């Protein structure tokens, strides 16, 4: 089962979130039939979004990347319980180009948007331009620049030679206000040891082992263990609401011809069929 560990280090001057997300990412790969590069991108975004959902008191957190590059963008949403869902906007491998070999090439140039639902009228939203398109670096840049919190982030997906995902996970490290520069410099050195984060996650196998690798000698204190899972709460009734965006005359025509409309949930790729009776009921609800 996937999990996220919360911890403190350096006498509570540094907070850390470490995640193992292999099952979650494999669920997304299966749901969306993702190609390798799409799986790498969405897997990393899902991992980061789930960790970030435990970093704030928001009811839900949405992280999205918009771009005109090959992937066209991707979106992930997590609730306060670590249930996460998401999708890539273009999973057609044939449109990526022969020279593309990294996630950054699929996303640059683009923008990163992080939106938190705090239970108020409007969500709190921050937007920055992508720095590299490698997702982890852009998320770290967002926290460092937009929220003035020095942050390091590493996200990995490890595949075998047949393209099967064997491990996924990552970490987010944040420095508390007033921390000495000497600690910042040491953190930079320790983060550099995780340059090949995908293989490291595969080798270490658990979030606790990853935390120990980084901070076992720096007063590491695990403060909580949280769940993480791929979950979409869509249903036929919920997706039907999206049919309201279709022109009323088109709905009437469908009902008249007794044909069907198929709607697809973008987050989990579930397909729903609506017959003429469903459409007539929808039209009645619109008119009432």
Q: Are residues 206 and 241 in the same domain?
A: no
Query: Rounded to two decimals, what is the model's pTM?
Result: 0.92
* CATH value at residue 254: 3.90.1280.10
Q: Are residues 225 and 166 in the same domain?
A: yes
Q: Are residues 92 and 208 in the same domain?
A: yes
Among 230, 245, 277, the domain-final residue is: 230
Q: Are residues 185 and 220 in the same domain?
A: yes
Q: Are residues 121 and 224 in the same domain?
A: yes
Q: Are residues 133 and 183 in the same domain?
A: yes
Q: Are residues 225 and 255 in the same domain?
A: no
Strand-pair category, 124-129 with 221-227: unpaired
Give CA–CA dist 253/28, Å, rounded. 36
* CATH value at residue 182: 3.55.30.10
The pLDDT tens digits along the chain (288 residues) read 899 999 999 999 999 999 999 999 999 999 999 999 999 999 999 999 999 999 877 778 999 999 999 899 999 999 988 899 999 999 987 777 777 778 888 899 999 999 988 666 777 889 999 999 999 999 999 999 988 999 999 999 999 999 999 999 999 999 998 888 899 899 999 999 898 999 999 999 999 999 999 999 999 999 999 999 999 999 988 888 777 777 677 777 777 776 778 889 999 999 998 887 777 777 776 666
Query: What φ, ψ does residue 227 adopt, rounded to 5°?
Result: -90, 160
Give CA–CA dist 11/230, Å, rounded. 34
Q: Are residues 212 and 254 in the same domain?
A: no
Q: What is the pLDDT of residue 95?
A: 78
Q: Are residues 199 and 222 in the same domain?
A: yes
Spatial CA neighbour of 112 closest among 121, 101, 104 = 104
Among 230, 258, 274, the domain-final residue is: 230
Q: Are residues 143 and 260 in the same domain?
A: no
Residue 251: domain span: 236-287
Q: Are residues 180 and 255 in the same domain?
A: no
Give CA–CA dist 240/278, Å, rounded. 9
Q: How many domains does the chain have?
A: 2
Residue/partner pairs of 96-103 with CB below 8 Å, 24 or more apart? 96/37, 96/70, 96/71, 97/70, 100/37, 100/70, 102/133, 102/134, 103/37, 103/40, 103/41, 103/44, 103/133, 103/134, 103/135
Q: Are residues 71 and 45 in the same domain?
A: yes
């Amino acid at each position: 089962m996937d999990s996220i560990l919360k911890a403190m280090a350096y006498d509570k001057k540094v907070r850390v979130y470490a995640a193992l997300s292999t099952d979650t990412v494999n669920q997304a790969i299966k749901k969306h039939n993702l190609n390798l590069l799409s799986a790498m991108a969405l897997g990393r975004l899902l991992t980061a979004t789930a960790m970030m959902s435990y970093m704030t008191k928001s009811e839900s957190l949405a992280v999205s990347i918009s771009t005109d590059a090959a992937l066209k963008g991707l979106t992930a949403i997590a609730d306060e319980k670590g249930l996460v869902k998401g999708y890539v906007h273009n999973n057609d491998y044939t449109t990526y180009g022969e020279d593309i070999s990294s996630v950054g090439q699929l996303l640059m140039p683009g923008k990163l948007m992080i939106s938190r639902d705090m239970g108020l009228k409007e969500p709190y939203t921050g937007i920055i331009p992508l720095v590299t398109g490698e997702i982890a670096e852009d998320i770290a840049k967002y926290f460092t620049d937009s929220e003035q919190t020095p942050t390091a982030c590493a996200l990995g997906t490890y595949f075998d030679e047949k393209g099967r995902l064997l491990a996924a996970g990552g970490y987010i490290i944040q420095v508390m206000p007033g921390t000495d520069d000497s600690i910042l410099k040491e953190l930079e050195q320790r983060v550099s040891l995780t340059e090949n984060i995908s293989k490291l996650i595969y080798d270490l196998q658990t979030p606790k082992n990853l935390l120990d690798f980084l901070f076992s000698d720096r007063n590491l204190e695990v403060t909580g263990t949280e769940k993480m899972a791929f979950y979409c709460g869509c249903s036929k009734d919920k997706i039907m609401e999206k049919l309201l965006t279709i022109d009323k005359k088109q709905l009437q025509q469908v009902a008249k011809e007794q044909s069907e409309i198929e709607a697809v949930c973008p987050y989990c790729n579930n397909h729903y069929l609506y017959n003429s009776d469903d459409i007539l009921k929808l039209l009645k609800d619109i008119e009432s």
